[in-house]
Amino acid sequence: MSELPTISKELSKEKRYKAACAQAFALCNGEPNFIAKAGNVMALLKENFDFLWVGIYIVNNNALNLFVFQGPVACTQIAHGKGVCGTSWANGASIIVPNVDEFPGHIACSSASKSEIVVPIIKGNEVIGVLDVDSENLDFFDEDDLTGLEEIANILANEVF
């Protein structure tokens, strides 16, 4: 696969996510290696949005285990129902956290993280992982992020895992 063009920051966030979803699908199409696919999708998101950290945790036994990511060093294991990621996994629902310091039980992998969004990756009726995104800014994530990242999680579920 050749290099993909950078998504213009002049586009609305909604259009940037649409372009990112098209590129994510193109990155996965025909690639047999699921690690390469997931890693490239994380790089695509990190390069085209102002995220501090973006990555995937996958369900393994009774914990979420760190999979591929872009950004600072991260926590490697998160228990079911713990922190934002574990809560999203337990509830099977996306969570937007405007201020991580106000989320009960937040797990601080990086002190630079100020807000977070976590989207479950669902295959069939089962949560198989979560897409976790952190920002250095308070109240960074909105409905456009939610819609766009839920579509990315859907692409991950269907094209990667």
Contact 141, 15 (CB under 8 A): no
Contact 128, 121 (CB under 8 A): yes
Q: Name beta bridge partners: 66.
A: 57
Domain boundaries, the chain: 13-160
| Tens digits of residue pLDDT in 49-77 | 989 999 999 999 999 999 999 999 999 99
Measured between alpha carbons, how far is 86 from 29 in angstroms, rounded to an integer? 30
| Tens digits of residue pLDDT in 31-54 | 999 999 999 999 999 999 989 999
| Tens digits of residue pLDDT in 111-158 | 889 999 999 999 999 999 999 999 999 999 999 999 999 999 999 999
Residue environment code for 5-14, b if the CB has 16+ CB neighbours within 10 A, otherwise e = eebeeeeeee
Q: Name beta bridge partners: 56.
A: 131
Contact 94, 119 (CB under 8 A): yes
Fold of 13-160: Beta-Lactamase (3.30.450)
**Rounded to two decimals, what is the model's pTM?**
0.94
Residue with the two structure tokens 């920002």: 135
